[in-house]
Every structure is written in structure tokens, then in C-alpha cells.
Amino acid sequence: MTGQGANSRPSQAPLKSTKAPGEPDGVDTSPRVSDDVRQTTCYMCACRCGIDVYVSDNQIRYIQGNRDHPVNRGVLCGKGSAGIMQHYSPARLKKPLLRVGERGSGEFREIEWEEALSIATERLARIRDTDPKKLAFFTGRDQSQGLTGWWASRFGTPNYAAHGGFCSVNMAAGGLYSIGGSFWEFGEPDWEHTRYLLLFGVAEDHDSNPIKIGLGRLKERGAKVVGVNPCRTGYNAIADDWIGVRPGTDGLFALALVHELLRAGKVDLTYLAEYTNAPFLVIREPGAADDGLFVRDDSGTPLVWDRKRVAPAEIGAADLSPALTGAYTVNGRTCTPAFALLAERYLSETYSPDAVAETCGVAPATIRRVAAELAHAAFEQVVELPIAWTDARGRRHQTMRGRPVAMHAMRGISAHSNGFHTCRALHLLQTLLGTIDVPGGFRYKPPYPKPAPPQVKPAGKDGGTPNTPLDGPPLGFVAGPEDLLIDDDGRPVRIDKAFSWEAPLAAHGIMHMVIRNAWAGDPYPIDTLFMYMANMAWNSSMNTSETIAMLTERDAEGEYRIPFIIYSDAYYSETVAYADLVLPDTTYLERHDCISLLDRPISDAEGPADAIRHPVVEPDRDVRPFQSVLLDLGARLGLPGMVDEGGKPKYRDYADYMVNHERSPGIGPLAGWRGREGESHGRGEPNPDQLARYIANGGFWKHELPPDQSYYKMANRGYLDFAKKMGFVPAAEQIVLQLYSEPLQRFRLAGQGHGDVLPPEELRERLVTYFDPLPFWYEPLEQQAPDGAEFPLHAVTQRPMHMYHSWGGQNAWLRQITSQNRLFVNRATAARLGIADDDWVWIESRQARVRGQVRLVDGVNPDTVWTWNAIAKRRGAWMLKEDAGEYEKSFLLNHAIAELLPSEESGYRFSNSDPVTGQAAWFDLKVRIRPCAPEEAGHGAPQFEPIKPPPDPETPPHTLRYGVRFRTMREKAE
Amino acid sequence: MTSLPGKTEKSLGLVIDLDTCVGCHACVTSCKEWNTGGHMAPLTDFDPYGGAPDGTWFNRVHTYEQSCGEGGRTVNFPRSCLHCETPACVTVCPTGASYKRSSDGIVLVDEDKCIGCQLCAWACPYGARDFDFDVGVMKKCTLCVDRIYNENLDEVDRVPACVAACPTGARHFGDLGDPNSAVSQLVAERGGVDLMPDLGYNPVNKYLPPRAKTSAPTDAPAKELESVTAEGGFLGWVDRMLSEEAL
């Protein structure tokens, strides 16, 4: 294919004639570039862009974006274009390592793979034979959760998750429980039709190239972009309007917009009646065991009030005129449509612009203006596409109508302890305007939408049984207390306490609590912590100083409190030093991967798509791709599904698994070219040539939806039938948007003492408060503590665009752009505190203090300070030189973030997480800053004992002449 | 001293949209990546893993805060050779190493003739030249002269690396000497500007200035929202609307 790509404007095209002019300067204008161009998938962050890798003499000459690829359409970000330096990093691990010194020292000896795998197998087999939950298997930003989750389930441990719990589970859960999709991963703005885009808490992140391409399009089309963010960098810098909101108050701001829109009647009542549960009748009998649940008929179908028939009716009945207001008595129960409850709440003065302005740090007039603009775009600029379609009830529509308001939100919303409700508030705002999956609005990416919430439940209620797989995946979506993973006494089953009363909707697990809980033996001690690609001994943990102490602390018998740690990484990261056994992974250019519809695919709104990675160069070290190692371990352990009848390994390696594994008959990791001849897509038997077909197609597969399926997917007959056929949804039924959340109400009822599964007394009030079936705003939990005034400033982080989501600060090119992080402070605030530009300051929180250097700026909320995250490195890690800025001058804010909240009256300390989902509340931090003593300036703090280099380290070069060999080769050829 | 060609046949250059640049550094690293193996290879890096990493780069992005109006603005500013019509970096060169091509107007350095005196770097007011201390040669943006005519690349790829990579599409390429070219028209439409025009070097590259910040939708002003009035307040209005729409 030779698509034109995103940058195909006439002003970006090659010259009309690309024939070289007859310039007599001897310049070779047509040098040979490479032997080969291999198309694979980038992994410099988690965005999964397609790349064309130019390989010359088995060396990487150049990496550019793949024009045909649905994610990046030919463009490539600053990280992707620096992939060469990641691939050739001196910090690459070279061989399996066995710890010989104290944990954390970095003293290892190199061992052979056979020894490494024997050690791991022996240990894991013993655990599986006795108490499989004593294995905690947690992975980082990997894209193989289809495999890793299945492996954990086959092993039989419920203690599995990936990094979502400390990243964006609030966005995933907030979206999936509300609209059956989510921002970023499972949806995107309609860049081609929207007139007005609101970005909430989107810094340089999630996702990279698609947002950048989209913003370029919006600018070109003259649409308006509004950035709601405490920091005016990146996307917010080019927004037409920057609203420097106070961190953690976006939900209140959004609900004030809802107030304004309701007050003015600028809500799409037709949309609400058709596509949402706004008309569902809610029981209003305070004190009853089913108060706040939907009125249902005998078959369990929710009822609405039909205004025409003046009678209750099943949802979905033909020719309905559902009421959105009023009070009714149905089946003897007093009830009212959910919409009436919603209107009552948000029309309250509590949510008026004047009431919220001070808390949000946004002027009432600004809130009113944004509301008016939203209404204007939604109701005065309706988009109507001439595409006929049929809805889920079989009604034919001649056009696709949409209200061109789109929103996108990410970690600035997610990383607060009120993020779940804030995310729901944003979806409420979108839904009231009628903008979910309509032209100009937010669009689902298949395989989404799914029923809200999806129907898969977390397995492992019994905590696992020796030598027995779980009866399902370890992660899922609870719909009520009966789905929780708790024991008979109501205590958590999982080491991270996910799906317990403390975090019932923890759909991605709670990785940031694993080390602490394992160390404390709360709820129980474990034997082995097995991690992959997660820097938990540094920038992926809160309270890093104490966390690394937990990894090295010994019990009364002198044994480590966390007895054994296995870690796989491609690089010499801080966490490597804390492992007992290190399994060295390959770089992204040396491996197979599948970016699967069973996990986190590369779909866009135009259709489902998945992709592969395949080796474009061979490793020159004794390293193995982690996923192949995991399958090898699984076979050695005899895990069901990973061995054949004779006990022999079922899969040669990950590539073999990608092709031949079937999750259910005909459905495997890759959807493209299934069937013996590659004749079918979605379902079909394994195709031995499948990977070759992917490679021939540029490394990916995509199904383009026909135009009449491309919007209204939640209620589009054609799309729903297709989704059912592909296995995306259990039934081809309309997916109803859940403005009012019944699962949340079920937990609230449990908190009120109703039902068979009841929470411990001390947790009931918490459930009643936070499991509100309608979105609400509350002050972030840490900030509710009484000593708030001592820590007046919010402190947040973001990653620079050239490093966002990437786990290699050792990149020789990128670190020339940023190798020291500053604390960005509002100029006026600094003046008040007597702090000047370039001063070194102490940043003090309730937990700890760190030291760094200040940079004054205007573009930040005056009550907020911020820094680039994860620039700071621990001395010795990542093979940087002694004087590197990352070691010497940078600071890690993580030390100042407590992983536990202040004590309850009982003395118990909850984790620093969202009480609904367990999402790590990184951005709730409050600090004070003060100038440090003159002798303290110039060095970041805290500092730690340096990690010793690995055996046989590669010495980083003083002078790097990358590329000179290509020139030499060209000159020789001449 | 090196002489300049008279009128060049073409004036190839870049147009950079400061309204759209988010400062992601994609142009910076894609340039580095192509060119470190390209015409002037390598783009040497000193102390790349140490305390003062400093390499040769043809293109860098600087981020500034500008105070204007409500709270000012943040501007990301990519900076590379502007391939001036009358560049001082060429006329100052004692050996003829620094030269402007008469065909397409690209300013290049002939490494064989460069004696490393660095007069050109002093003469260039835009800081667009990068001396490679490793080989004692001045290096600079070649406008990807080894891409734009390269018969070993697919035709569609024959654009500068930075233009192909830019994720927001903020970079444009073409003949700015041709008033009918797409880039010239873009410059005309958007009021593209020269950097420091009073210095008289007549840069070929143009910058499109950031648009004015708006506190209204970009096409039509939104009317302030008025409360609905109906018997029964908001819910009464809902009932009336539903009746009218006869759902």
C-alpha cells in the first residue's frame, strides 16, 4: 500500500519534479539508504504506531512512520524518531543475572538461561503445588496482557494485574461503567467533524500521535480547542482557550457546565430518551433494600413510563414515549425517571458557576461562557451526514445527525482520588449534549462499545487452589457486592486488595500497593513477586524511599520479608537491582508481539485493527523476549493450555502462540487472515501463514466499517450484528448509556446494611458516601486532612512529549533535550514566597521532602507547582556517567507522595487511591516550598547509595558517532 | 569570501506553523536520525551519557512564554537554517566551503573545503549552524538534499525528514520562490513572516504566527445561556419539549 498519510497537504508534498537539478557541487542526492525496509510496531511509548525501519547491514539506518497505519498515518513523534538510541543503549541487559550481594546493591553474577529457568521453575512449581496466590505476578506497561493474564489464570493465582491501576483505571472504569467505552483506549474525538474540543487533564500524553494529528486537523478546519489543565504546556499551549483549573476540581467544573446546560434547557432530550437510561424508573423508597435500583418486570427488564399509554413499559418496546420527569407507582413501588433525579441534583445551586468558582480557580463568567459555547456548537451547528442507517430497533434513518462537541480526558482526571466520578461527570456532560458516537462527537473504537459495564467478572474468589487454574481471568468488572473477591470475613482475597470493599471496582488491580502489602503481610505474606517492565523500585511507586527499604527488609529469621523477586526488563533499571533473578528481555526491534483485539488493539473509530511486532534485527546478546520465556516457564510448570497431551510445550515461542492459540474456537490473539488460507477475519481456524500476511500488509490488519456502521455503534443494527459475529459483544442488543449507575447503588445499599454480602462496619460510611449512582465531586481524600493549610500548593507531574510513556531516560538523544527536571512555579506565587528563578528549594509534603531547582513560569495555576516526572535516576542505574544530570540535579517527586492516607480514627490507613477503583492518586499531593540553605543548592535530594554496575558492563562512549558507518559504506561503494 | 549566486532557479525552504507546533521535538529527533547517517554524517554526540551531553543538531525547538493579554501564551519555536537569499554565513566564508546552490537555493557546507574557522557561525544571527568538534567541520541543515531528490526512496518520501515526521502537520516544504506554489500560498493566507527581516538576509523559510487567542467560538459568538421558562420550571420545560417532539 502507498497511502498518502496525514502530512499529505499540497504544501507537504514532494517537489513537482524530484529530478535532481544539475548543480555542479558533487553532492550525492541519491545515496543508497538501506538494504531493506521492515514494517513493525513502535514501542517507544504505549501508543502502538506503525513504523518503517530502514535496515542497512543489519544496523538501523532510519525509522519513519508507516503512512498506511491507522494510528499514526505516517507521522512519528520525538520518541519514535529516537528509537535507534533506545535500541543501542549501553544500559541493555545482556544475560540472565542471579543476585550474589545484598538486594539493592546491584551485585549479580551472570548465569545461563537454563539455570535461570530452572531456578524460576522450581520455585514457582512449589508455590503452585501449595498455595498459588503466594505468587504475585504484576506487569508494567506491556502490551501482552492477553497472554500474561491468561498465564496467571492458568497458574491459578488471583494476584495478577498490569500497570493500569496506577495509570488510568479511573478513565477505563469511569468510561466502561458509563458508556461502555472510554477516552483514549476505546474511543476518540471525531476529528473530521467536531467544531469544539474540550481537553481535560491531557498534558503531553495519551495518546501521542493521534491527538497531535487531530489537533492539526482542528486548527486547519477552524474548530475551537479548549484546554482545561493547570499547566499551559504542550496541547494546552496551542489551545484557543486555556483554563488553568485547580488540580482535582475538573469534576466540579464539568458539573457546573451541566448545571448551566440544564438551566438553559440545552440538553438533547431525544438522545437521552433513545440511548441512555435517563428514562429508567428508579425506586424511591429510602430505607428499602432496593431503594435506588431500577424497577424491573418479572424477566428483569428495566421499566420506563410510557407517556402515550400512560403505563409502565419495558425498555426497548416498540413506539415508546418514555417520560423523563414525574413520580409514578409501578408494581406498588414509588419511582421516578433517573433523569428527574439527575436534574434535581445538578440544578441545585451547589453546582452553579458562582458556587464552584473559587474551588475550581475558574471565574464564573468563564464557566458560563464555556457552557454557552458548548450549547452553541451542539445545538446551532448540527452536523448531518447523508448516510442512511438502521437502528437497533430496526427503524431506518435517512441521515446521521450529530452535535459537533468532542471531549478528551486523561491522566489529569485519572490520577486523583475523585477521578472515577470526575470521569463519569465528563461522560454525563457528553451524553446530555447527545455527543456519544455521533458525527462531531466522541466515537467508539471497536471492539467497543461493550455493555456498560462489560460482563466479564474477576475470577479467583477462593484465592486459588493448588495445581488448578482459575475459572476465568483475574481481572474483570464487578456489578455488585456478590462479585467481590473477599473471604467469608469480608477480607481481601488479593494481595493488592483489588475487588475488596476498599476498592470494589478495581478493574486493573492496584499495582502501587503490592510491595507494601507483601512487605506488611497484609492481607497475607507472599513467596514470590514476579514483575515485568515496571520500575517499582523507582518512578512507578509512591513513597519510593520507604518502598525500596521494604524490598530489602528482613524478618526475625533474617529472611527477606518478600522472599523472592523475579524481574524481567530489557534495561538496567533501578528495579533490576532489587531482583533475585533477572530475566533479560529484548528491545522492541528484536521481538514478536501482538497488539490484539483481546487486549489493547490499534483500532480507530473507522474499524477494528490489530498489529504485530516482529524482529527486524537479531539480538546480539544472550537475551530472550519475555513472552516467549513466560510460555517456556508455563510449559516447564505443565500449565494447562501450555503443554500438549504428552506434556511437551504446546508453543515454540510467542510467535507460535500468536498464530496458534485459540481463546475460544476460531478466536485467537490476531484477527486478520484467519482460516487455513487466510480467507476470514475475526473468526477462523489458525492460519500457518498469518504472520507473513501481516508483514506483507505493513505489520497490521484493519477492517474498515461501512459508512452506515461508523456512528451510533451502541444502537446501530448493522454494527451490532457485526460486533456479535466478531465476538466483540455477547449479544447484538442496544448498549444503553448508564448516566445513573445501578452497580454503584448496589454498593451503596450494602453500605446501608442491605443485601447478603455486607461490608465490615467501619467501611460502610465510606461506601455510602462514594458509591453515589450519579457523578458527584468531593475534595480529593488526602486533601480532606485537617492540616491542609500547612501544605498550600498542589504538586503534579507530567512527562515531556519526547519522553512520555517511555521507560528509557538513558536515550542519548532525548536526554540532550531534558536531563534535569525543574520545579515549575508560578511567577507571582514565587514572588510571594521570596523565590527567584533558578533557586534551589525544598519541596515538603506530609510524607517527605525532596530538593530541586526552580523554573518560574506564568502558564500555571497559581496554587500549583509541577515537574517533569521520571527524569531523575538513581545513581548507577541506566548506565549513565557519574555526573549525569539525572543523578545529580534532578529530583523524584514520588518520595513526597504517601502510598497511604492519613489515619482514620481507628488507626487504619487506607491506600492513597480512589475509593471506587483503587486508582493511584498521584496528583492529590499538596506541598509547601521554601528556599534551601546555600550549601544545599546544586544537588537534587534525596540521594541513595549507588547501584553497582552489572557484570561485564558496556562502557558508555564519550563520543558517539552513530551513522558514520553508513557514510563509510557509501563512500566505499563509490 | 564566497560569492552568492544571483537569482536562484528555485528557493526551496520550510514553512513552520507556530500556531500548531506543540513542541514535541519530533522534527528535532527525526532530523537527527536521518542526518546522522546522511549527507553530513555523523552528527556527533559528546558525552551522550554524562553530565554535559552536547551533540550536533540541525534543528532544535525552544519553548518561550510570551506575555500578552490574559496571562500570556506559551510558544514552541523550532529553529533551523532558514536558507537565506543573501546569507552572511556564505559571504563570510574564506574558502568557499559555505555556499548557496544556484539551482534550488539550499545553503550547504562542502566539508572538504571547510577549515573549521567558524566565521559562518558568528555571522549567522539565527544560530543555525552546529560545529562538529570531532571532525572540525561546520555542519548544518541540508534541507534533506539527500532525500528530496533521492531515487532510492519512494517518491512520496522525497520530503525533508522533519516535514514527514511532524505529528501536528505544522511543517511545510516547497519552492518559496514560486508565488503559485502551495507553500507560497499558505504564507500569503496566513500572513507568514521572516525572522528578523531588518537584518536583511532575506530568509527563505517562513513562520506562520500563532492565531489570536479567542474567548469565543472561532466562527460565531455564542449567546449567553438564558434560563428556560415554563410552568413547572425545568422539568415542566422537559415535559413540554417531549410533548412537542412527540417521542
pLDDT for A205 equals: 73
CA distance A86 to chain B (A): 12
Task: Give A224: exposed, middle or buried? Use CB within 10 Å, 0-12, 13-18, 19+.
Answer: buried
Average pLDDT of the residues in B37-57 = 97
Task: Decide if pLDDT at A810 tops 90.
Answer: no
* B153 domain-assigned: yes
First to last CA, chain B: 83
* B222 domain-assigned: no
- Core vs surface per residue B62-99: b (16+ CB within 10 A) or e: eeebeeeeeebbbbbebbbbbbbbebbbbbbbeeebbb
CATH ID of A10-76, from 3.20.20.140, 2.60.40.10, 3.40.50.9100, 3.30.200.210: 3.30.200.210
Q: Is B21 in the A-facing interface, judged by CB distances under 8 Å?
A: yes
Q: How far is CA A72 from CA A50, A67, A588, A824, in A?
A: 7, 7, 18, 31
pLDDT tier, B66 (very low <50, low <70, confident <90, very high otherwise) = confident
Domain tally, chain B: 1
Q: What is the pLDDT of residues A166-204, one digit of tens each?
A: 889 999 999 999 999 999 889 999 999 999 999 999 987
pLDDT for B247 equals: 44
Point out the residue among A90, A242, A859 whose CB comes nearest to the CB of B49: A90
pLDDT for B214 equals: 62
Report the chain B residue with the minimal C-alpha distance to residue A818: B53
What CA–CA distance (Å, rounded) separates A376 from B242?
A: 21
Nearest-10 Cα torsion for A600, A604, A607, A608: -10
Report the chain A residue with the minimal C-alpha distance to residue B210: A238
Task: Decide if pLDDT at A335 tops 50.
Answer: yes
Strand B129-132 to B137-140 pairing: antiparallel
| Sheet with A59-65, side-by-side order of all strands | A36-41, A50-56, A59-65
Q: Kindly determine whether residue A23 and residue B103, on different chains, have CB atoms separated by under 8 Å.
A: yes
- Taking contacts as CB-CB distances below 8 angstroms, the residues of chain B near A76 are 26, 30, 165, 167
pLDDT for A2 equals: 46
* DSSP 8-state symbol, A302: B
Give A395's contacts (C-beta < 8 A, 6+ positions apart): none
- Core vs surface per residue B164-181: b (16+ CB within 10 A) or e: bbbbbbbbbbbbbbeeeb
Question: What values do phi and psi take at B99, rounded to 5?
Answer: -145, 160
Chain B, 156 to 195: residues with Cβ < 8 Å from chain A are 156-159, 161, 163-175, 182-183, 185-186
| Sheet with A609-613, side-by-side order of all strands | A593-595, A609-613, A700-702
What CA–CA distance (Å, rounded) separates A8 from A27?
A: 28
In this structure, are residues B31 and B57 in contact, taking their beta carbons and an 8 Å threshold? yes
pLDDT for B221 equals: 61
Using DSSP's 3-state secondary structure scheme, residue B246 falls into: coil
Average pLDDT of the residues in A527-554 = 97
Q: Per the structure block, which three cell numbers stand in for A694? A: 501481516
Q: Kindly determine whether residue A233 and residue B103, on different chains, have CB atoms separated by under 8 Å.
A: no
Identity (one letter) of the amino acid at A66? N
Q: What is the pLDDT of residues A675-685, one digit of tens each?
A: 999 999 999 99
pLDDT for B227 equals: 87
Task: Decide if pLDDT at A935 tops 50.
Answer: yes
* B87 domain-assigned: yes
pLDDT tier, A79 (very low <50, low <70, confident <90, very high otherwise) = very high
CA distance A522 to chain B (A): 41
Question: What values do phi and psi take at A438, rounded to 5?
Answer: -125, 160
* B231 domain-assigned: no
* B236 domain-assigned: no
In this structure, are residues B94 and B1 in contact, taking their beta carbons and an 8 Å threshold? yes
Quick one: which H or E segment has residue A212? helix A209-221
Domain residue limits, chain A: 10-76, 97-167+454-587, 590-614+623-707, 785-936
Q: What is the pLDDT of residues A743-801, one digit of tens each?
A: 999 999 999 999 999 999 999 999 999 999 999 999 999 999 887 789 999 999 999 99
pLDDT for A319 equals: 86
* B143 domain-assigned: yes
CB atoms within 10 A of CB A210: 24
In this structure, are residues B63 and B75 in contact, taking their beta carbons and an 8 Å threshold? yes
* B247 domain-assigned: no
Structural domain of residue B111, as residue ranges? Answer: 12-208
Question: What values do phi and psi take at B182, rounded to 5?
Answer: -60, -40
Task: Give A749: exposed, middle or buried? Use CB within 10 Å, 0-12, 13-18, 19+.
Answer: buried
Query: Closest Cα partner for A442 from A202, A220, A225, A713?
Result: A713
Chain B, 198 to 227: residues with Cβ < 8 Å from chain A are 210-211, 213-220, 222-227
Q: Per the structure block, which three cell numbers stand in for A588? A: 522492541
Point out the residue among B50, B75, B227 whose CB comes nearest to the CB of A883: B50
A101 CA to centre of own chain: 36
In this structure, are residues A711 and A439 in contact, taking their beta carbons and an 8 Å threshold? yes
- Core vs surface per residue A868-888: b (16+ CB within 10 A) or e: bbbbbbbbbbbbbbeebbbbb
- Name the E strands within A542-699: 564-569, 581-584, 593-595, 609-613
Rounded to whole angstroms, the maximal C-alpha distance in chain A is 95
Task: Decide if pLDDT at A805 tops 80.
Answer: no
CA distance B64 to chain A (A): 10
* DSSP 8-state symbol, B213: P
Task: Give A41: exposed, middle or buried? Use CB within 10 Å, 0-12, 13-18, 19+.
Answer: buried
Q: Kindly determine whether residue A223 and residue B210, on different chains, have CB atoms separated by under 8 Å.
A: no
CATH number at residue B133: 3.30.70.20
Residue with cell 455477547: A730
Report the chain B residue with the minimal C-alpha distance to residue A257: B225
Residue with cell 461502555: A180
Domains A97-167+454-587 and A785-936 share a fold: no
The residue ranking higher by pLDDT, A132 or A166, is A132
What is the CATH architecture assignment of A97-167+454-587? 3-Layer(aba) Sandwich (3.40)
What CA–CA distance (Å, rounded) separates A198 from A433?
A: 13
pLDDT tier, A1 (very low <50, low <70, confident <90, very high otherwise) = very low
Q: What is the pLDDT of residues A88-124, one digit of tens each?
A: 999 999 999 999 999 999 999 999 999 999 999 999 9
* DSSP 8-state symbol, A189: E
Average pLDDT of the residues in A401-414 = 97
Q: Kindly determine whether residue A265 and residue B217, on different chains, have CB atoms separated by under 8 Å.
A: no
B214-217: long-range contacts, CB 8 A cutoff, minimum separation 24: B214/A224, B214/A240, B214/A241, B215/A241, B215/A369, B215/B70, B216/A369, B216/A373, B217/A195, B217/A196, B217/A224, B217/A373, B217/A376, B217/A377
The residue ranking higher by pLDDT, B67 or A61, is A61
Integer-rounded Cα Rg, in Å, for chain B is 25
Mean pLDDT score of chain B? 92
Q: Kindly determine whether residue A264 and residue B226, on different chains, have CB atoms separated by under 8 Å.
A: yes
Task: Decide if pLDDT at A499 tops 70.
Answer: yes
pLDDT for B206 equals: 98
CA distance B48 to chain A (A): 5
Chain B, 124 to 163: residues with Cβ < 8 Å from chain A are 134, 145-146, 148-159, 161, 163
CB atoms within 10 A of CB A359: 16
Task: Decide if pLDDT at B220 tops 60.
Answer: no
Q: What is the pLDDT of residues A939-955, one digit of tens each?
A: 999 999 999 999 999 99
What CA–CA distance (Å, rounded) separates A278 from A275?
A: 9
Cα angle A448-A451-A457, degrees, rounded to a multiple of 5 = 105
The complex's ipTM works out to: 0.96
Task: Decide if pLDDT at B35 tops 60.
Answer: yes
pLDDT tier, B1 (very low <50, low <70, confident <90, very high otherwise) = confident
The answer as to CATH 2.40.40.20 being correct for domain A785-936 is: yes
Q: What proportion of chain A, given as a percentage, has pLDDT over 70?
A: 99
In this structure, are residues A100 and A122 in contact, taking their beta carbons and an 8 Å threshold? no
pLDDT for A510 equals: 97
Q: Kindly determine whether residue A325 and residue B238, on different chains, have CB atoms separated by under 8 Å.
A: yes
* B160 domain-assigned: yes
pLDDT for B245 equals: 61
Average pLDDT of the residues in A217-242 = 95
Q: Kindly determine whether residue A208 and residue B167, on different chains, have CB atoms separated by under 8 Å.
A: yes
- Taking contacts as CB-CB distances below 8 angstroms, the residues of chain A near B175 are 15
Task: Decide if pLDDT at A30 tops 80.
Answer: yes
Question: Would the pTM count as exceeding 0.90?
Answer: yes
Interface test with A, best of B9, B225, B229, B237 (most A CBs within 10 A): B225
Average pLDDT of the residues in A290-308 = 96
